[in-house]
Amino acid sequence: MLFSGCSGSPSKTPDIAYPSAPPETAMFDTARIHDETAWTTTNTHDPAIIKTDDGTYYIVSTDVKVGGPPVPGVMVRKSEDLIHWQWVGRAFDGVPAEASAWSGGPTLWAPDVKKIGDKYHLYYSSSTFGSNRSFIGLATSDSMEGPWKDEGEVIKTGEGDGPNAIDANIAKDEDGKLWFVYGSFFEGIHILPLDPATGKPAEAGFGKVIASRDSKIEAGAVEGPYIIYQPKLKKYFLFVSFDSLSSDYNVRVGRSDSITGPYLDYNGRDLADTAYDPQFDVGTKILGGYKFDESDGWVAPGHNSILQDGDNDYIVHHARPKADSNWMYLHVRKLLWTADGWPVVSPERYAGEKTQAIPEDDLAGEWQRIVHERLIDGVVESESLRLLPDGRIGSEDSKDTWTFDGDHTLTLHWDGAFKETVLVLPSWDWELNRATLVFTGLDDQGQAVWGKKVSAT
């Protein structure tokens, strides 16, 4: 449900359709720590999303639990609107025998799910931390709520092999051909063709490397691949997560004319180029740890999937609250596209907002701005930003200015040295519990820029 204006809304007109209040998430809810039916977005890690033919959204995710050992089996949740989430159960009763025998992993990680033909195909990972003795398996079902039939090994790796067989993703190219994408740490991300009849690789071997990082980087990972094709741009986009899943995870992207790469970032750097120095400067970073002034902030957002839902795109990922990073929660955010064809992420979680024309008069006021610098993988804190009605930034004698295209594109000009082009949309302010305007975009060096309006002028 959307409404025009709200109590405390910064809008001076009823023209902006703001989202209404989403359900409250009880953070650090130890009272229901063992009640799975109450978890909704709690205990979600490495979420993969799918929309079924009846319009229901499902998420499958890694076996995790705060306050005790996780139950193995791949968690399943569902929603009718991407906002209200309901616990469904688990795909399996434990770790499938073949996977357990190979890896010794006590739980299942990083699933992906796709509908191939008339059946849902669930890909799961089995491994132990720090090892590439790993196993990706497949299960099939007529329903996202099961029962699931285990189809056994898709691919496995062991000591002496280059890749690491976890983090599967099934991607489709422009011609409808399926591809199997996987990998984490070790030699990085690999791709090879998939046989739709079996749901398994159509050729032997480990495939082609499409993203990698120098193994000498301390705690430096590239993992969690997810590839989409953007038909309007006629390009493929590879999303990956860099660094530690518990402290400084961040999402980066490259794009390519071919599903097999090369995938280049905003500055033309190949995501598979391990020789580039510094390695933290590769990949267009679109999401990282952040903190708005009035919040505790979020750390290690990452391991995303992407939902292409008609004219709307969403990024689905987990994140950890900075106040206690032992907990993890599901985040769904709008994914927008810049004029030059790069995905950018909303600063706020999705609450039903829609991209729309914004009255220019509503832009002036006090904002908070975050720049996700590529070389910073920790939490970035917001800084104050004042947009004056006369088009100045900060003060009446400032050389910094802003311009607006009359629709929803705002450009911040910084003393003629550089600029930030951002997209404005109405949103729900999860930190202040009210509707507001936000913006997301890139500067002319390809760094992600976020903003949130906190008060009128």
pLDDT for residue 220 is more than 70: no
- Looking at residue 280, its pLDDT comes to 84
Q: How many domains does the chain have?
A: 2
Average pLDDT (198-211) is 98
Mean per-residue pLDDT over the chain, rounded: 94
In a shared domain, residues 118 and 74: yes
pTM, full prediction:
0.95
> Of 199-203, 214-218, 268-272, 444-448, where does mean pLDDT reach its minimum?
214-218
CA distances from 243 to 95, 150, 176, 222, 263 (A): 27, 32, 32, 7, 19
User: Is residue 391 included in any domain, yes or no?
Assistant: yes
- Looking at residue 277, its pLDDT comes to 84
Query: The tokens 């949130």 sit on which residue?
Result: 452
According to DSSP, residue 103 is labeled: H
CA distances from 304 to 154, 227, 314, 418 (A): 22, 10, 10, 30
In a shared domain, residues 94 and 202: yes
User: Is residue 240 included in any domain, yes or no?
Assistant: yes
In a shared domain, residues 53 and 106: yes
CATH number at residue 261: 2.115.10.20
According to DSSP, residue 166 is labeled: -
**Cα–Cα distance measured from residue 373 to residue 370, given in angstroms and rounded to the nearest whole number:** 9
User: Is residue 61 included in any domain, yes or no?
Assistant: yes
In a shared domain, residues 337 and 404: no
User: Is residue 182 included in any domain, yes or no?
Assistant: yes
pLDDT for residue 1 is more than 60: no
What are the DSSP E strand ranges found in 395-433?
401-404, 409-414, 418-429
In a shared domain, residues 374 and 324: no
In a shared domain, residues 284 and 397: no
User: Is residue 285 included in any domain, yes or no?
Assistant: yes
In a shared domain, residues 366 and 443: yes
Average pLDDT (53-79) is 97
According to DSSP, residue 445 is labeled: T
Residue positions annotated with a catalytic role: 46, 223
**Cα–Cα distance measured from residue 172 to residue 4, given in angstroms and rounded to the nearest whole number:** 39
Average pLDDT (305-330) is 97
Q: Which of 290, 317, 345 is the last residue of a domain?
A: 345
Instruction: Note down the domain range covering 201.
Output: 39-345
User: Is residue 400 included in any domain, yes or no?
Assistant: yes
DSSP character string of 203-232: SSS--EEEE---TTSTT--EEEEEEEEETT
- Looking at residue 11, its pLDDT comes to 42
pLDDT tens sequence across 401-450? 999 999 999 999 999 899 999 999 999 999 999 999 999 999 999 999 99
Q: Which residues partner with 401 through β-bridges? A: 392, 413
In a shared domain, residues 149 and 260: yes
Nearest to residue 65, comparing CAs of 350, 328, 355? 328
In a shared domain, residues 212 and 79: yes
CATH number at residue 381: 2.40.128.10
In a shared domain, residues 313 and 390: no
Q: Which of 283, 317, 345 is the last residue of a domain?
A: 345
- Looking at residue 6, its pLDDT comes to 38
Nearest to residue 10, comparing CAs of 437, 443, 448? 437
pLDDT for residue 10 is more than 60: no
Burial 81-112 (b: 16+ CB within 10 A, else e): ebbebebbebbbeebbebbbebbebebbbbbb
pLDDT for residue 284 is more than 80: yes
pLDDT for residue 457 is more than 70: no
- Looking at residue 218, its pLDDT comes to 58
Nearest to residue 106, comparing CAs of 132, 127, 130? 127
In a shared domain, residues 202 and 120: yes
Task: Tell me whether strands 290-291 and 380-381 are parallel, antiparallel or unpaired.
Answer: parallel
User: Is residue 393 included in any domain, yes or no?
Assistant: yes
400 Cβ neighbours under 8 A, 6+ residues apart? 392, 393, 394, 412, 413, 414, 415
Q: Which of 345, 377, 392 is the last residue of a domain?
A: 345
Alpha-carbon dihedral angle through residues 306, 307, 313, 319, given to the nearest 10 degrees: -50
Tell me the two tokens of residue 425.
């949309």
pLDDT tens sequence across 373-404? 988 778 999 999 999 999 999 999 999 999 99
Average pLDDT (284-306) is 96
> Of 53-67, 255-269, 277-291, where does mean pLDDT reach its minimum?
277-291
Per-residue pLDDT band for 216 (boundaries 50, 70, 90) equals confident
User: Is residue 34 included in any domain, yes or no?
Assistant: no
pLDDT for residue 46 is more than 60: yes
pLDDT for residue 219 is more than 70: no
In a shared domain, residues 298 and 403: no
Average pLDDT (276-285) is 90
